[in-house]
Amino acid sequence: MWDVSVIAELGSALTETLFLKGYNTRLVVGGVTFLGATAGLVGSFLLLRKQSLLGDALSHATLPGIGIAFAIMTAMGITGKFLPGLLLGATITGLLGVLLVLAIRRTTRLKDDAAMGIVLSVFFGLGIAILRMVQQIPGQSSAGLESFIYGKTASMVLLDFWLITGTLIATTIATLALLKELTLLCFDSNFASTEGWPTLWLDIILMALVTAVTVVGLQSVGLILIIAFLITPATAARFWTNKLTHILVLAALIGAISGWLGATASALLPGLPAGAIIVIAAATIFLFSMIFGTARGVLPRYLRHLKLQKKVGRQHILRSTYEILEDTQGVEILKNIPIPLEALRKHRYWSKGELSKLIRQAHAEDHIVRRPTGEICLSESGFGEASRITRNHRLWEMYLITHADIAPSHVDRDADMVEHLLEPEIVRELEKALELEKPVIESPHVITT
């Protein structure tokens, strides 16, 4: 059993962390939460631009700048660990890495992944070499520079917090001001270019925003994990909606929640690295979104697929039953005549198991009546539904023949692939477009007037 004093101490630590009572706790949790919101916002454009790895190349390209800035400040007599100077150096080499990626992509036939891989590996290797070299500078200690690789959230100070806050404000303003342009760039850059939009400058602005987020995030999550902070919230948001503005808001919210969870867990358990916990929290939200996301989640998509399959099966058996009755002539008179199951099987080449399943489904929906002899017939509601489905199918056949120039021998197959998506509004539009008062006789199953 735990001692009462231990439980009280844990409760006190939990209260202090959750309610942000400590000064350092407020700085760290607030700073990382704002950073997550900013990273989610900017990362959404990277994801939609299909340049997710560009953030990775950029983050690794910042490492040489940190070492070079340390050496320059040391030579100038300034302390080599002056944070604004280190961040300035990281920004310069980060932007240089991005410009190299853009240059390689625009001037060669190499694809984006090859260009990013080259820049990422070369700059990271150069950065490691430079950091090893600056360790040999006499009279200066470069200890602590490695924290930019893995992040060190606990060392965040007020200046870091204001840098992150300023970046969040500037990024939000830039996103709102250029939302239309960035949207066009992400979804169709070729069209934007032909319309005269400055796609190169828009790319540079987007990369500048990514650079700003990457540089200010080096202190908290490090250059290796910042890419996860940029991409994971945006990817998780994509599972919930297809609307860009909603993606931006959700990605910012998921990034903020991930940052808050990681920083809070690290504050409660000091042995846990905040950067890693932040990424784990973001990955957990991503997995939940991937499974349950309403727009693209695995489970909702599977349920929608089952629902569509059920709808297609119901429509097929009702239309088949109607067409069999129609082939005997006098549908209105013969609608209650039983139909042998063998006739249905031959009509669409169903297996016995498939046909039994469809009949059970239609019977449960009160569209088909089973006879004791094993035959079936349409109920009153089933006959009306079968008539509507058959008419919609033939409307689509007419449209394909008269407007899409589809051969009558192929029109039934093509219409069968699309008819299940026809809504009442589309049917009315087809009726107007086809001018039903004119006869169409090319297809043997098409309604004629």
Q: Is 72 exposed, middle or buried (0-12, 13-18, 19+ CB in 10 A)?
A: middle
pLDDT at 446: 42
Cα(322)–Cα(351) distance, rounded to whole angstroms? 19
pLDDT at 254: 93
- Other CB atoms within 10 A of residue 189 CB: 16
Q: What 8-state DSSP symbol labels residue 449?
A: -
Q: Using alpha carbons, select from 287, 317, 305, 313 the residue that is nearest to residue 382.
A: 317
Question: Do 243 and 79 meet the contact criterion of CB atoms below 8 Å apart?
Answer: no
pLDDT of residue 420: 59
End-to-end CA distance of the chain: 87
pLDDT attached to residue 287:
94
Residues in the chain, overall count: 449
H/E stretch holding 376 reads strand 376-378
pLDDT at residue 3, as a whole number: 56
Tell me the pTM.
0.76
pLDDT at 139 (0 to 100): 57
The full 3-state SS of 78-136, as one line of letters, equals CCCCCHHHHHHHHHHHHHHHHHHHHHHHHHCCCCHHHHHHHHHHHHHHHHHHHHHHHCC
Residue closest to 13 by CA, chosen among 374, 336, 266? 266
Signed CA dihedral, 265, 18, 227, 231: sign only: positive
Could you tell me the domains of the chain? 21-296 (1.10.3470.10), 301-434 (1.10.10.10)
The two structure tokens encoding residue 357? 């399943």
Rounded to 5 degrees, φ, ψ at 137 are -70, 125
* Residue type (1 letter), 298: V
3-state secondary structure of 188: coil
Query: Which residues on neighbouring strands pair with residue 370, listed in sequence order?
Result: 376
Say how many C-beta atoms besides its own lie within 10 A of residue 291's C-beta: 13
Which of 348, 357, 340 is closest to 319 using CA atoms?
348
Residues in the chain with pLDDT values less than 70: 1-24, 80-81, 137-155, 219, 224, 270, 328-336, 403-405, 407-424, 426-427, 430-431, 433-449
Q: The tokens 């090319």 sit on which residue?
A: 442
Q: What is residue 437's predicted lDDT score, i.e. its pLDDT?
A: 41
Determine how β-strand 368-370 pairs with β-strand 376-378: antiparallel
